[in-house]
Amino acid sequence: MGDSTPILKAGTQVMAGRAQAKQYGMESLMLKRQAQDVDLQAVQMGERRREELRAGVAAYIASRAGKGLSLDSPSGIAVERELRRQAVRDEGVDRVGFGNQAYALRTSATMRRRAASNANLSGWISAGGTLIDGAANAVSAGATGGGGGR
């Protein structure tokens, strides 16, 4: 009966590759989920910004009305327009920031999926090399007199 060490070692290498692939796969799923959370945060922040704008414009209008000032004067319209412009700019900055963060997380998730595939393949390649080395050693041992056939 031959040496079973290469077979056991090859099996261990395949299992290690699978375990590493599973770990990378789980990391990929977690990163994808984090990206979805960032997308949700972006929507929530956009809603918050719009609510702040509505409240700010309402407070400005109430203030002008309380002072008896015209709501449709050129200066009143200009101030309201500036409030809206700043709010839209702030929302855009937030959107870009959240978008960049989500993109980075999705990119990392993709890289982890590729690493999982590579880890699995690497385990099989290592196992194949171990089996070939074991077979070569067995043939070498047989050629040097370990075969015992006279």
Confidence label for 143 from pLDDT (cuts 50, 70 and 90): confident
Q: Is the confidence at residue 150, as pLDDT, over 50?
A: no
Average per-residue pLDDT in the chain?
90
Annotated domain spans of the chain: 5-136
Mean pLDDT along residues 94-101: 96
CB 21 within 8 A of CB 114: no
Instruction: Name the CATH topology of 5-136.
Output: Helix Hairpins (1.10.287)
Q: How confident is the model at residue 146, as a pLDDT?
A: 56
Q: Is the confidence at residue 53, as pLDDT, over 50?
A: yes
> What tokens were used for 146?
């370990």
Provide the H-helix boundaries in the chain.
5-66, 74-141
131: helix, coil or strand? helix
Confidence label for 140 from pLDDT (cuts 50, 70 and 90): confident
129: helix, coil or strand? helix
Q: How confident is the model at residue 149, as a pLDDT?
A: 47
